[in-house]
């Protein structure tokens, strides 16, 4: 009887069957032989009945708990904090669609066994230092579709096993040094659709096993030389849909293992000599840019390149490329390629090197629409001997252009900063009440954010026909007069976010036929400004997030037939007409969710 007294004393107060069973196993090991037989029977019974009652009894209200898979789902329940009663042994926790707003220090201290955590659409604005400190087993963390603005130094401390981190569709504009320093096992980091403008040195320090870094759909226009330092295992980098006007040659040399680089949808106009110095690169995407010139030795230091995408640029002539020894496919579709004597050297080279050319002839008329692969070199000639000689002279001057001295000074209005080397001009936060004039005609990026314009009159930007990207965010603009941007024939990106616009005149965008990306988010629109887009035949993406639009009428996209992305997140849309989007057959991205 002594052994049973010992058992009763030890079990007293242990209400959790699992803990009780573990205590009895301890007694089995420590008890005399005559006491062990009954104890094993008790252990079996406890383990048999422990799973369901113990786990389900700790399932938080409004949540769904699976005691077999050890998962908890509390989706769309308006929770304002992480439920404190989640069972300790939970391995997968789904908290999507709540209203948590802030993750405090130790927010998951009571669930140390989590391997998967989903926190999308929770209105999270801040992740406190040490919020995930107890989650040493977590391998997957999804923080997409929140309102996070800053990634602090210790935001991800404790996530020593994390392999995938998704922070897409937030408002991240700053990455503090050391933010990822403890993520040594991370394979994928995704920061798409944020507000990053500048990438500082050592921004990703600590990512010792990273394979894919996704930075698409930001506003990056400058990468520090050591921005990607330490990423010795990175094989894929996505930088598409940003504002890079020049290929970041020096930052890319810090990526010795990179094999795939996505740079499409950036406003670059040319690629110079030996621009791409990446010894292991195999796939390079430079599509949907503004490329007008491409040096034949720009890829001289990329010997392993097998696929090059130059589609949808403004190239008319391209010389045979030097450097890549294994190039198999060159995509030139969507360019205005002239199939005459200009093309002959490239076509002869493609046949000799067995490079497949993708695309079609834009001219002359008898070749228009013909596949580049179907034309034969002898057919590629100019119409006369005089034209042939002219073409040869032009080609010679293009390949070896005479040096042109740079001016000592660049034109720049008072109280602005203008950079000759990058063609950037900035008057950000300078208190201007009128749009400054007198910028260099070579300006490519014009940043006028944070001023007090209130009103943009017609012809406000004379003499800047080469501007590709124009920033007018936070300028308190409430009206844009017709033809305000007239003459900006190269404009591709226009940012009018965070102003006071409630309507747009039908000719507000007259004179900007190349406009491709238009940002009108966080204004005061109550109706969809449909008449304003009839003069934008090349518009691909329209951002109207966080306005007060309540309905979408029929044919709202009239004139914007090429539109592919429409973003209306954060509006309160009650009705959508049956044929609201009919004029845009290529529309493939549509966001109508009322909250982010």
Report the SS3 class of residue 576: strand
Name beta bridge partners: 520. Answer: none
Q: Is residue 163 part of a domain?
A: no
Which of 56, 80, 102 is the endpoint of a domain? Answer: 56
Which of 348, 378, 398 is the endpoint of a domain? Answer: 398
* Residue-level pLDDT at 10: 46
Q: Is residue 384 part of a domain?
A: yes
* Residue-level pLDDT at 219: 94
| 467-503 per-position pLDDT tens digit | 988 999 999 999 999 999 999 999 988 999 999 999 9
CA distance 167 to 175: 12
CA distance 57 to 59: 6
* Residue-level pLDDT at 311: 97
Q: Is residue 233 part of a domain?
A: no
Q: 488: which 2 tokens?
A: 């900006």
| 535-553 per-position pLDDT tens digit | 898 888 899 999 999 999 9
Mean pLDDT of 338-358: 93
CA distance 582 to 586: 10
Report the SS3 class of residue 284: strand
Q: Are 304 and 280 in contact (CB under 8 A)?
A: yes
Q: Model confidence at 579, in pLDDT bands (50, 70, 90)? A: confident
Q: 589: which 2 tokens?
A: 């991205």
Residue 28 domain boundaries:
2-56
* Residue-level pLDDT at 394: 57
Indicate which CATH number applies to the domain containing 371: 3.80.10.10
Q: How many domains does the structure of the chain reveal?
A: 2
Which of 39, 56, 73 is the endpoint of a domain? Answer: 56
* Residue-level pLDDT at 596: 45
If we measure between CA atoms, which residue out of 222, 157, 144 comes closest to residue 423? 222
| 249-270 per-position pLDDT tens digit | 999 999 999 999 999 999 999 9
Q: Which residue has the higher pLDDT, 278 or 419?
A: 278
Q: Is residue 541 part of a domain?
A: no
Mean pLDDT of 565-588: 86
Q: Model confidence at 410, in pLDDT bands (50, 70, 90)? A: confident
**pLDDT of 40 higher than 50:** no
**pLDDT of 12 higher than 50:** no
Peptide bond between residue 364 and the one before it cis (omega within 30 degrees of 0): yes
* Residue-level pLDDT at 595: 52
Q: Is residue 557 part of a domain?
A: no
- Cα atoms found within 13 Å of the Cα of residue 27, Cβ hemisphere only: 26
CA distance 91 to 354: 53
Q: Calculate the average pLDDT of the chain.
A: 86
Q: Is beta strand 64-66 parallel, antiparallel or unpaired with respect to 71-73?
A: antiparallel
Q: Is residue 289 part of a domain?
A: yes
CA distance 522 to 498: 5
| Chain centroid, CA 507 distance in Å | 31
Q: Are 187 and 166 in contact (CB under 8 A)?
A: no
Return the C-alpha torsion angle 251, 255, 258, 262, nearest 10: -20
Peptide bond between residue 380 and the one before it cis (omega within 30 degrees of 0): no
Ranges assigned E (strand) in 224-336:
236-238, 260-262, 270-271, 283-285, 293-294, 307-309, 329-331
* Residue-level pLDDT at 268: 94
């Amino acid at each position: 009887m002594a052994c049973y007294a010992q058992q009763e004393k030890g079990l007293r107060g242990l209400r959790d069957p699992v803990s009780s069973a573990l205590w009895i196993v301890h007694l089995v090991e420590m008890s005399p032989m005559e006491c062990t037989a009954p104890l094993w029977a008790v252990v079996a019974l406890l383990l048999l009945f422990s799973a369901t009652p113990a786990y389900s009894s700790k399932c938080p209200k409004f949540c769904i708990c699976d005691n077999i898979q050890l998962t908890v789902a509390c989706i769309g329940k308006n929770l304002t904090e992480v439920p404190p009663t989640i069972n300790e042994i939970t391995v997968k926790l789904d908290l999507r669609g709540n209203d948590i707003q802030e993750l405090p220090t130790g927010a998951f201290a009571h669930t140390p066994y989590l391997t998967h955590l989903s926190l999308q659409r929770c209105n999270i604005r801040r992740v406190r230092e040490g919020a995930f400190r107890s989650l040493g087993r977590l391998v997957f963390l999804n923080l997409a579709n929140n309102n996070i603005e800053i990634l602090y130094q210790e935001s991800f401390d404790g996530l020593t096993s994390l392999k995938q981190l998704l922070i897409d569709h937030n408002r991240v504009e700053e990455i503090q040094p050391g933010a990822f320093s403890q993520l040594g096992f991370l394979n994928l980091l995704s920061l798409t659709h944020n507000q990053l403008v500048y990438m500082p040195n050592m921004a990703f320090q600590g990512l010792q096993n990273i394979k894919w870094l996704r930075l698409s759909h930001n506003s990056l226009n400058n990468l520090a030389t050591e921005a990607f330092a330490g990423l010795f295992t990175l094989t894929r980098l996505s930088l598409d849909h940003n504002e890079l006007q020049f290929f970041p040659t020096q930052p890319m040399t810090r990526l010795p293992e990179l094999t795939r680089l996505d740079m499409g949808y950036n406003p670059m106009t040319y690629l110079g000599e030996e621009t791409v110095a990446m010894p292991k690169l195999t796939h390079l995407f430079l599509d949907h840019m503004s490329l007008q010139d491409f040096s034949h030795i720009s890829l001289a230091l990329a010997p392993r390149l097998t696929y090059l995408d130059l589609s949808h640029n403004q190239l008319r002539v391209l010389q045979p490329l030097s450097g890549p020894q294994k190039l198999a496919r060159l995509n030139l579709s969507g360019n205005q390629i002239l199939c005459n004597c200009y093309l002959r050297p490239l076509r002869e080279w493609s046949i000799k090197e067995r490079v497949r050319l993708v695309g079609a002839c834009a001219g002359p008329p008898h070749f228009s629409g013909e596949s580049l692969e179907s034309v034969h070199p002898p057919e590629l000639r100019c119409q006369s001997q005089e034209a042939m000689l002219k073409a040869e002279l032009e080609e010679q001057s293009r390949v070896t252009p005479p040096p042109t001295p740079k001016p000592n000074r660049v034109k720049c209005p008072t109280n602005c900063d203008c950079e000759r080397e990058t063609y950037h001009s900035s008057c950000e936060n300078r208190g201007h009440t009128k749009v400054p004039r007198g910028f260099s005609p070579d300006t490519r990026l014009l940043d006028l954010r944070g001023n007090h314009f209130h009103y943009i009159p017609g012809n406000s930007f004379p003499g800047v026909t080469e501007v590709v990207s124009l920033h007018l965010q936070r300028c308190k603009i409430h009206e844009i007069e017709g033809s305000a941007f007239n003459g900006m024939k190269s404009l591709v990106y226009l940012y009018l976010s965070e102003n006071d616009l409630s309507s747009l005149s039908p000719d507000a965008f007259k004179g900007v036929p190349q406009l491709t990306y238009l940002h009108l988010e966080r204004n005061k629109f109550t109706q969809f400004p449909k008449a304003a887009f009839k003069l934008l035949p090349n518009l691909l993406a329209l951002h109207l997030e966080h306005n007060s639009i309540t309905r979408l009428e029929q044919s709202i996209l009239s004139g914007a037939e090429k539109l592919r992305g429409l973003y209306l997140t954060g509006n309160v849309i009650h009705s959508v007409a049956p044929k609201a989007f009919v004029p845009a057959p290529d529309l493939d991205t549509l966001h109508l969710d009322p909250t982010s």
